[in-house]
Every structure is written in C-alpha cells, then in structure tokens.
Structure 1
Amino acid sequence: MYFRIIHDETSGEMSYLLADADAREAVLVDPRGRDLPLLQSLLAERDLRLRWVLRTHQHDALLPQELALLARLGATIRQGQDAVGVQTIGQGDLLAFGNEVVTVLATPGHTEACRSFAWRDRVFCGGLLDVDTCPHQPYPVAPEAQWDSVRQRVFTLADETLLFVGHTRHAQAVTTVLQQRRWNPFFAGLSRDEFLTRTATLRHATQPPVEAHAIH
C-alpha cells in the first residue's frame, strides 16, 4: 500500500494518491488540473499505472478547462455528476485497483451529486464536513441532503474510521468519525433546523448584493 496527501497551501484544497504498491495500480481522489506535472511525477516515481480519477465533487462551470486537464492523466474519470468524458457512479459501486477496492458512498449536499470514497479504514468525503471552506462554493447547494448524508451515512460509521477532507483552512487533512460526531461546528450539538438556518446565512452572505435601480 502507498498513500500520499497533496495539499495546496493557497486554496486549502486536498488531493490523495492511493496505490497498491505490489500491483502498481493507483487511484487519485480529487486531483487538480493545475497539479498535472506533479501528479504525473508522483506516478512515474513509483512506476504506477493510474486506474481511476475519482472526484467527490466538482465546480467545472467555474473551472471550464478542468476536465480536459484531468483527461491528460489517461485514466477513467468517475464522479456523481454526468458530463462528457466521465463515467457516473452511485451508492455501493465498487472500484478495484490492483488488489484494493474503493466503495462509493452517495453523500449529496455540498453539491447535488457529491460522492465519498471508502477505502480500508478511511473515507474521503470532499466538502461534506467542512461546510464553509470550499474556495469555489463556501456553502452547501442542498443543505437538507447534506445533513442527512453526514448524520445517516458518515456518523453511523465506526468511531475510529478516518475521514479525509477535500479542503481545509489549517492543513488538517484527517480526523475521525468520533471527533466529528462530537466536535464538528455544524453537525455536533445542532438540531437539523439550526443547521439549516446557519447554512442559509452562509449562502446569503456569499450572494452578490442586488443593485438598486436608479430613479429618474
């Protein structure tokens, strides 16, 4: 097994490289197109064949060249949202690489088609838990679904399950289900209605102000 965290210090975005070192097959979770030379170097360094590019979520409307850049990695791109050049994935899908398997979890909320990826003792959950840290969209598109995804899919996992985020302000890539269940500022100690009120405030704060019409 080989595992590597790739952190962008400017944006706080996190990417992950998983590999079966014996079979020399690898998976990239949430790679960024601008990191293409680095990603290709990491794969070449260990003579790894990239099997899958897995995306927990995407903001391709804001980054129109992103899919074309990721396609240069030469692996199948899998994500929840349908798009040209990708394959969609859903709850319970199994993605093999070498002798390893990633299990897909449907975890909508940050976007309508968010996915999380379970591998061994860890889950890669994108923007699911750090609600306001995504540099492209610091609020959930579907807050009701996000509440259900966290409380019903993630918080029901074993306490010791490792959770890896898609973006962070303090370079803390990993936490546990137990920690999140007890201390997450959005999901621990709040009711569903309180969570919805708080996320509505986030969305309102990021909307551009409406310009008043001039009176002639």
Structure 2
Amino acid sequence: MVGMWIQGSRSSQDSAKSLHFRLGTAIRSQRNQWDHSSLDPVRATHTSCPITTYQSVLLHVILSILMTRDFRAVDLGLRHCVPADEYDLLMALVQSCQRLGIFSYPDMLAQYHPDAPLKMIWVGVEEMKRFALALYKVAHMCTVMNTRETSREKLLTLADLSFPVPDSDEMWDHPGDDPEALPRVAAQNNRTENGDPKEWISTSYTILHDRRVNFNWI
C-alpha cells in the first residue's frame, strides 16, 4: 500500500487511497479488539500483543502522513500535521503498546513460553524491537492538525524505550532455510547484551534530554 503510493503514478496512488480507506474502516470497526490503552494492568500481563494488527495500524498512519498535503512544521521539532482522527489512532496504538509492554525488553520476553524455541523467541523479540523503533519515529514526527500546541512533550520519548537496539541486519535478513547458518552469523556479529539495562536505549535519555531546553532534536 505504501509502496503503491510512493510509486507516484495516478493509478497506483488511487489504488493506495482505496486500500487506505478500506484498511482504516477495518481498523476502526475492530478497535475494541486491538485497542488495549485502557486495559487493566493485571489483565495486560496476560494479554498477548497482536503485533500483526499493530503493524497494520502503523502502516495506515504512515500512509496518512504521506497523503497529507499540509506538511507545515508546527514547531522547531519539525513535526508534521496529521488529521485528528488519524492522530487518535496513533495515540491509541502507542498507549496500547505501552500497556502491553512492547517498549520493555523483559515484557517482550514474557510474550513467549520459557520452553519455546530460542530462534522463535529471537525473531519475535527482534520484530517487536524494530516495530517499537518505527512507532517511536512516527510518534516523534507527528502532531495533530489544527492545534496551537508547541510543547516538546510527545507521545514517546527515549526514556520509554527500555530495550536494546536491534541485532544486526545481517542476522535479521539471513534466510532461514539453513538452520546451521544463523549461529555462525551470530558468532561473527557483536550482538547486544539484551538483558543488561545499561545497553537499553532508555539510558541515553538522561544524557540527551534537558527539560530546560525546549528544542526537539531527538
């Protein structure tokens, strides 16, 4: 859908708009099934993350950004305006992910049974890391249309990202048809120590953020 829009031709963009509208309708009609922003904390610990659905919601918001003709920067953070209804979806997505622990490495691991295959856990955790970073980037660059809000407060900050950076693209993109190849690739890469909080992205917040400086650059 996003690729069709980026292609640039009139026909492909018309098709992208049609798919975008249909996906938006489906997302909103099923919101009670994926929006866990108000979920009780106790229930949240026993609720699995519908990562595929969340990826669809994020792609929908991304295309909304691309399709919005009004790209005025509203502050020095160069955030882009998006329609209020799309921003509402983005807020619900961010808050649902926070509630389900998608920005927390221990909670990512908790999505899987301890006896699950290590490769399956690694792939699942890496997928959540990359999704969480994509969501952070989109949330960081957006604000709601028709607002005078200029505060540096955002839906997400680096302090929320309690997980390490993803492992190498070489490992992530490696074909899975050779079960013995992945361990060799892993051994050749300097993998992050995921369980060490000192390696988590959130630790950079205290260094890079100063509340006295009202300027968005991270």
Q: Please report the TM-score for the alignment, with normalisation by the length of structure 1.
A: 0.28
More strand by share: 1
Kindly indicate which of the two structures has a greater share of residues assigned to helix: 2
Higher RCO (C-alpha 8 Å, min separation 6): 2
Q: What TM-score results when the alignment is normalised by the length of structure 2?
A: 0.28
